[in-house]
A and B are shown apart, each in its own frame.
Chain A
Amino acid sequence: MSDYGDSDYDMGGSDAYSSGGDDFSYSGDEAEASSPVAKGAKKSFVVLDKEELRERLGAGVSQVVELLCISDAEATRALRFYKWDLTKLQEEWFADPEAVQVKVGLVDEQPSTRRKEEVCKICFESFSVQDMACARCKHYYCKDCWRGYIHTSIESGPFCLDLRCPDPECKAAVPRRVITAVVDAAHQERYDDFAINSFVDDQRQIVWCPAPDCQNAVMSMHDQLGVAQDIFCRCGNAFCFNCKEEAHRPVDCDTVRKWMIKNSAESENLNWILANTKPCPKCTRPIEKNQGCMHMTCSQCRHEFCWLCEGSWAEHGERTGGFYNCNRYKRAVDKGEVDEQEQRRQHARQSLERYMHYWQRWAENDTSRKRALRQMEAFKSETQELISEYTATPVSQLRFITDAWMQVVHCRRILKWTYATAFYAFADPVNATKEAKARLAQHQEFFEFNQGQAEHYLEKLHGQVEKQLNTFVRPPPSPPEGEAAAAGSEAAGPSGRDQQGWAKFREQLIGLTDVTRIHFEKLVNEFEKGLDEALKEYDVPMAQASTSAAAATAAAAAAEEAAAAKAKAAGKAPADSRRITRASKRRQGPVDQEQAAIEHEAGYWQCSHCTYANEAMDSQECELCSQPRGATR
């Protein structure tokens, strides 16, 4: 189920993550708004295109040339030998210069020839020394032979970077000037590419973006390599620095690998088998019943049984209802009897169902994310212009919509992975103590609460940007859906009404994007920190978690403290999306009264900044985002 090679990722070179920003960085100003989980203000990676790689490579080589007074070819070779680690090269060089010199092919400079002509040791022709070239060893070869030698070497692979003098006994490195003087453009490019490849491949902190056709590399500034790190390449690909799979925080790379293997082995088959088959009661091979009566004969073990009650067919016949019915089954169902075998099968089914439960949610979010990506692209290429025109807003100010889409895409991905991780994290522990089980249950409750919260806001945001947005993709006279009632009581003209609806949409969407990001940040951070730690912060006494029910209470209590009354807001969510809310500080007089009446009836007031449903009717400050009541952005 890997996404690489998926056309969704190839976003046609558009700069999805930092419109306008040349050097994208994870938490740079431009990218900040689009980052799904901006963790700290530290710049943790940088995307480098070919030109930037070339520059960095050149700078590194120049530094060594200057520092050690050696030629560029020798410097390149030395850096390559030490995996481009300047510090290590320096250390070893100053500890034992001769040893390093031997390793990198730095031979003593030999005196130049005194003759005017020399014989090329390859073609055996005589040439004027001016028309020949040599390394420090002063083994002279003609330019044609050099070209043949270097071209052959470049054609045979990256070892051309360690090119030595053709003399079999000589270890002298071929200077860059000799190479550039004789090779043609195509070979030069290939040679440079090899150098850049080595620069990236040999360094642990630089990797290529794994998206097909993307030529960017990414340098990580993370202090700890070897752990999952989400990278957002300029090409639009989001991947993990460590395992090169799709970005998957907060899940670790091992879990992702396990999950992917499990999926590739089971997902499609399992889905179908579960939906369409029953296992043979005798040999347990899955059987599909696509037609005919209830009298089944297993094609594998020839066992004859009844499809309904799964009992032996020998006990069936006229008296049990014939070929198309089964009294025994009916009776069992009526009585609620389930035999032992059935229980075992049920257990097996349950574990499959458990997997299916997580897998379906994982897959659904994946599909949803891909669709969101497509919709975002469609917005950028088509809808954006229209909305700009109809709402009289410059395109540059529609960035908030792309940001919302980006947030949806990122959050869908995070959410998807939380299902994979939950599958492993909350599996039924074998031989665990009662306390351990209780703690696990508590963790699960807490995790699922956070997950539910995050998901709730994501759904809201997704709905808003998917459906609400469409109401603005039409000429101004028709007011946005759901705003008609509000508009009716206002004195402003149609366009004014529409403008107001637009302003409100904008402010709500920005607020929702923010809130969604905060929730997902929390979800990711708390999971990465460890649920035990996270729970401790909410100071939940472990004693309460002795039974499953108590665990639920504890988690609820923790959640209560964590997110205050968000749980209630979640409960009100469906109402939120149906009702028309009219909080706006610009409204005055009769509108205010009307507003108050509506809020009173609803039993809450909606924050116009983050859309949170506040139940404290007297409060003048949003419980969630602490913005003053009626504040807009």
Chain B
Amino acid sequence: MDSSQLPRRIIKETQRLLSEPVPGISAAPSEDNLRYFNVIILGPDSSPYQGGVFKLELFLPEDYPMAAPKVRFLTKIYHPNVDKLGRICLDILKDKWSPALQIRTVLLSIQALMSAPNPDDPLDENIARQWKTNEVEAMNTARQWTELYAHQA
């Protein structure tokens, strides 16, 4: 894809993501589509996802930054705000999106969501119920899933 057609904002954001990466997060544009990013978030410390390597995809739609980027977990994750397809329930990806937010802020928010799940606003009913009724058990399952799915071969 010809990078000259990309809005300057996207080019600048990409450059900055590559030159000053956020700790624990990497985001690199795909070679054939500069609006498509391969993202890796490391499971935050002192969370059941610690030690896990989580792959995500991020896509900047045509009307970005007026519209929010589309983000999805590719790695299976046991989390009340992430559904089976990896879709994420996060306000800034929906109605709280503002064009003054960036890819960087979005990924930071996702990282924070992994540290602090919000079972009161769930995307997956069952996981959320488990999280609320038996948190210890839920954390264990999350750890097991991290072990199973989020460890690099």
* Residues of chain A whose beta carbon lies under 8 Å from any beta carbon of chain B: 121-125, 139, 145, 148-149, 151-152, 166-168
Contacting residue for A168 out of B63, B66, B67, B101, CB 8 A: B101
- The total of chain B residues at the interface (CB under 8 A) is 16
Contacting residue for A167 out of B63, B92, B98, CB 8 A: B98
Q: Which stretch (B6-14, B25-33, B117-125, B133-141) binds chain A?
A: B6-14
Q: A121-B100, A168-B98 are in contact. Are A148 and B12 (CB under 8 A)?
A: no
Contact A145 B8, beta carbon cutoff 8 Å: no
Q: Which of B65, B67, B101 has most chain A Cβ within 10 Å?
A: B65
Chain A residues with CB under 8 A of B8: 123-125
Closest partner residue, chain A, to B100 (CB atom):
A166
Bound-state CA distance A163–B96 (Å) is 12
Minimal beta-carbon separation of A152 from chain B (angstroms): 4
Bound-state CA distance A134–B101 (Å) is 17
Contact A149 B99, beta carbon cutoff 8 Å: yes
Bound-state CA distance A27–B101 (Å) is 57
Q: A122-B65, A148-B66 are in contact. Are A168 and B100 (CB under 8 A)?
A: yes
Minimal beta-carbon separation of B153 from chain A (angstroms): 38
Minimal beta-carbon separation of A138 from chain B (angstroms): 14
Contacting A at CB under 8 A, from B50-82, are 63, 65-67
Chain B residues with CB under 8 A of A125: 8-9
Bound-state CA distance A149–B100 (Å) is 10
Closest partner residue, chain A, to B92 (CB atom):
A168
Contacting residue for B98 out of A124, A151, A166, CB 8 A: A166
Minimal beta-carbon separation of A147 from chain B (angstroms): 9
Contact A148 B99, beta carbon cutoff 8 Å: yes
Minimal beta-carbon separation of B104 from chain A (angstroms): 12
List 10 extra interface pairs beyond A124-B13, A152-B66, A166-B100, CB under 8 A. A122-B9, A123-B7, A123-B65, A124-B8, A139-B100, A148-B99, A149-B99, A166-B99, A168-B100, A168-B105
Contacting residue for A123 out of B9, B63, B92, CB 8 A: B9
Contact A167 B100, beta carbon cutoff 8 Å: yes
Minimal beta-carbon separation of B113 from chain A (angstroms): 16
Chain A residues with CB under 8 A of B98: 166-168
Bound-state CA distance A432–B101 (Å) is 72
Closest partner residue, chain B, to A149 (CB atom):
B99
Q: 12 interchain pairs (CB within 8 A)?
A: A122-B65, A123-B8, A123-B9, A124-B8, A124-B13, A125-B9, A139-B100, A148-B66, A152-B63, A166-B98, A168-B92, A168-B105
Chain A residues with CB under 8 A of B96: 168
Bound-state CA distance A168–B92 (Å) is 9
Chain B residues with CB under 8 A of A145: 99
Q: A167-B100, A168-B92 are in contact. Are A149 and B66 (CB under 8 A)?
A: yes
Bound-state CA distance A121–B8 (Å) is 12
Contacting A at CB under 8 A, from B84-127, are 92, 96, 98-101, 105
Minimal beta-carbon separation of B63 from chain A (angstroms): 7
Contacting A at CB under 8 A, from B1-42, are 7-9, 12-13
Contact B99 A124, beta carbon cutoff 8 Å: no
Bound-state CA distance A121–B98 (Å) is 11
Contact A122 B100, beta carbon cutoff 8 Å: yes
Q: A152-B63, A152-B66 are in contact. Are A122 and B99 (CB under 8 A)?
A: yes
Contact A124 B63, beta carbon cutoff 8 Å: no
Contacting residue for A124 out of B9, B101, B105, CB 8 A: B9
Chain B residues with CB under 8 A of A167: 98, 100
Chain A residues with CB under 8 A of B100: 121-122, 139, 166-168
Bound-state CA distance A145–B12 (Å) is 16
